[in-house]
Amino acid sequence: MKLELSTWLEVEDYLKRASGLMIPVGSHEQHGPIGLIGTDALCAQAIAEEAARTANCLVAPPIFYTPAPFNLAFPGTVSIREETFEALLRDMLDGLIQQGFDHFYFLNGHGANLAPLKRIEEEFSSRSNCAIRIRSWWDFDAVNALRSEYYGDWEGMHATPSEVAITQATHRVVESDLATTPPRKLTPEFIRDHAGDRHGPPEEHRRDFPDGRVGSHSALAQPEHGAVLLHAAAGAVAMDYQDWTTGDD
Ligand code: NI
């Protein structure tokens, strides 16, 4: 059940039997020559919506605008400061808690969201009774097995074939000559040092990764893969959500 397509009466009824809300969180940033700017949010949204149907819970509209400062030299990217993002989350949760929600499951699709989400989790655990869980859709074994089966090392770090495949399955397929050549391979040191999207200033990031891909061979994506990845991730998220909200975890 989508929150934005519900009436307040339906939400009030829901709160008599449940108190959880799934919130997809993404980004609005370049995703290479064939990846959609909304990729992270669109992936999190599609997975959360399917998971919410299985888990019979409410799902909020995705949060597109999040921190992605390193991609600002690519047109179309929108980035907000971490403190703005945290302020938005704080206001959202404070209002929802007043209404009776007390379990918030953030389904994440963008590495740079993790640090601010974690800070919000810590803040609310010290000043409210609500429970917060943060999972990225690639955290689950079933999803990772597919990512490595389909793409191996070419999954890379940004504009990954797996996220592009999911948006191909749900939205559209884009082609570009710029994507046919494999990107520069990343070293293990680079991957370690840049986890959680710790990238440099925008001009430097565009200079180092001129087509926007960071070690990811996006052109390996296929919509058929995307459908399988989406379904695997949604199944894992639904199970994780149910275990968490029923206290089995
Ligand atoms: Ni992404």
Q: Across the chain, what does the average pLDDT equal?
A: 96
What percentage of the chain carries pLDDT values higher than 90? 91
CA of 40 to the centre of ligand 1 (A): 5
Residue 249 pLDDT more than 70?
no
Going by pLDDT thresholds of 50, 70 and 90, the confidence category of residue 248 is low
Q: How far is CA 125 from CA 18, 226, 239, in A?
A: 20, 35, 23
- Count other C-beta atoms under 10 Å from residue 229's C-beta: 26
45-61 confidence digits (pLDDT tens): 999 999 999 999 999 99
Give me ligand 1 centre to Cα 96, in Å: 28
Three-state helix/strand/coil letters over 40-109: HHHHHHHHHHHHHHHHCCEECCCECCCCCHHHCCCCCCECCCHHHHHHHHHHHHHHHHHHCCCEEEEEEC
> Which pTM value belongs to this model?
0.96
59 CA to centre of own chain: 14
Digit-coded pLDDT (tens) for 198-217: 888 999 999 999 999 999 99
Q: Which residues have CB less than 5 Å away from ligand 1 (the ion)?
A: 39-40, 163
Task: Give residue 160 CA to ligand 1 midpoint distance, Å.
Answer: 7
pLDDT digits over 46-99, tens only? 999 999 999 999 999 999 999 999 999 999 999 999 999 999 999 999 999 999
**Contact yes or no for 168/222 (Cβ under 8 A):** yes
Query: Which one, of 6, 26, 4, lies nearest residue 14 by Cα?
Result: 6
CATH T-level topology, domain 3-246: Rossmann fold (3.40.50)
Q: What is the Å distance from ligand 1's center to 106 Cα?
A: 16
Ligand 1 mean position to 5 CA, how many Å? 26
pLDDT grade for 121, boundaries at 50, 70 and 90: very high
